[in-house]
Amino acid sequence: PTRAAPFASSPRRRRCDALRRDHRRRRRGISGGVVVASGGDGGEKLYVPGDAMGGDNSPERAGAATMRRLFTHVAIRIVQGQLEGLGNDGGFAPQATGWDGTVQCPDYADLRHAMEHVPLGNGDEWISAFMKKNPVVALRVLETRKAYCAQFDYRELKRCADGLVLGGNVLLMKEHMEISMGGGGGGGGE
């Protein structure tokens, strides 16, 4: 009798089979790829279903799209601050708003109107809509977004995300333990 090799049912074998199926599907034009994400500890990579993030999108691409939106928001606020005079004279700028609070700078008025009435969308959508109203300030937002992206501290982002996930996991495990031990309600562990 023929015995199956130990490799036949291993996670590595299942992942290889999934990648082969995905390759065949892509050749036939069927979407829904397989994404393999690192476990972060140098061990086995985690399998992420190809349609987990919608279509052929990977978690990293979804994160990048969120970062684009964040960078656009930050760039808008930086340009707003510059128009208000922040970083120039330390605060109130009569060129943007008069002493009575009225807006005296057309660029500032256009930016405030777009901030209040145009949805941010993916970031590019907001800039595209604002470019029709005020192309000069929209280009300023584009350049500021590019500069902020270049100086963004990605290591600090990872450190903060790791801290949030690990801290959240600790709190949730405590909650799970309380529920399991019968102290936190929920009806489990009887």
What tokens were used for 31? 């979407």
Among 65, 178, 173, smallest CA distance to 123 is for 65
The angle that helices 106-117 and 124-133 make with each other, rounded to 10 degrees, is 140
Provide mean pLDDT across the span 44-56: 77
Among 47, 43, 71, 70, smallest CA distance to 59 is for 47
Q: How many CA atoms lie within 13 A of 92 on its CB side?
A: 7
Minimum mean pLDDT among 50-54, 129-133, 160-164, 168-172: which range?
A: 50-54
Are the CB atoms for 75 and 141 separated by under 8 Å?
A: yes
What b/e readout covers 101-118, taking b as 16+ CB neighbours within 10 angstroms? eeeebebbbbbbebeeee
Question: Is the pTM here over 0.75, yes or no?
Answer: no
Are the CB atoms for 34 and 19 separated by under 8 Å?
A: yes
Quote the pLDDT of residue 64. 92
Quote the pLDDT of residue 66. 93
Are the CB atoms for 83 and 96 separated by under 8 Å?
A: yes
Quote the pLDDT of residue 103. 64
